[in-house]
């Protein structure tokens, strides 16, 4: 074979190889170039990453919903604690008529739980002034799901109970209040989240 013919044949083979495609057996002209494979992998990677981000977002949203529900229950519990003290005062008035209906629930910012050992004369604990997030105590949780300040493991929740006495009549006695406006704020997430519950308690028992 002549040298020129050999060179031509070799160049034709190189050209044929350089233009080749990845072939799928059984399918004619259905191969993928290397660039197409890279693009396909890239698109698949975007899909996988997007799915992972969506799953992570769903988990985070569920966690926030659970925390918000717990905070709402703790806020309502704070109102019920104040209501319980008012009702205890009414019971005491049966034997001690001089007991004020708003005894131990005066104006101010407070902390309290349902494990108060002084059952006969329950009271609130005055919050350290100024009653801001950093001065509040973490609520602890014991077995059974009960929250308190004395035992158990610290949770992420803090609670502030604010009591504001108000008059109901247009010409009130300055020394007598008929309404207690209760505002309970529960914080969580390092103070980045909070929820507020409010209610007005009346001295309707004396009417």
pLDDT in tens, 62-76: 777 899 999 999 999
First to last CA, the chain: 125
pTM for this entry: 0.69
137 burial via Cβ count (<10 Å: 0-12, 13-18, 19+): middle
26-to-23, 40, 94, 168, 184 alpha-carbon distances in Å: 9, 21, 96, 90, 73
The DSSP secondary-structure symbol of 160 reads: E
Query: Closest Cα partner for 137 from 147, 199, 196, 145?
Result: 147
CB count within 10 Å of CB 128 equals: 13
CB count within 10 Å of CB 52 equals: 10
200-to-74, 101, 135, 139, 191 alpha-carbon distances in Å: 17, 14, 26, 24, 26
Task: Provide the residue-wise pLDDT of the chain in tens; the chain has 207 residues.
Answer: 445 444 445 455 544 544 444 454 554 455 567 787 788 888 888 878 777 787 777 776 677 789 999 999 999 999 999 999 999 888 888 888 888 888 889 899 999 987 655 555 567 899 989 999 999 999 999 877 789 998 899 999 999 999 999 887 776 666 678 899 999 999 999 989 999 999 999 987 765
């Amino acid at each position: 074979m002549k040298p020129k013919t050999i060179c031509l044949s070799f160049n034709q083979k190189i050209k044929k190889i350089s233009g080749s495609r990845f072939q799928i057996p059984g399918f004619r002209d259905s191969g993928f170039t290397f660039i197409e494979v890279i693009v396909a992998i890239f698109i698949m990677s975007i899909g996988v990453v997007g799915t992972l981000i969506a799953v992570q977002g769903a988990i985070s949203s569920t966690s926030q919903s659970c925390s918000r529900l717990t905070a709402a229950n703790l806020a309502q519990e704070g109102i019920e604690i104040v209501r319980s003290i008012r009702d205890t005062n009414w019971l005491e008035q049966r034997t001690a008529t001089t007991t004020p209906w708003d005894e131990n629930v005066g104006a101010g910012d407070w902390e309290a739980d349902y494990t108060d050992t002084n059952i006969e004369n329950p009271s609130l604990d005055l919050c350290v002034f100024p009653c801001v997030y950093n001065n509040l105590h973490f609520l602890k949780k014991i077995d059974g799901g009960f929250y308190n300040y004395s035992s158990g493991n610290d949770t992420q929740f803090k609670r502030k109970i604010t009591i504001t006495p108000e008059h109901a009549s247009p010409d009130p006695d300055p020394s007598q209040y008929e309404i207690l406006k209760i505002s309970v704020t529960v914080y969580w997430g390092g103070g980045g989240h909070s929820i507020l519950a409010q209610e007005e308690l009346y001295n309707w028992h004396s009417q």
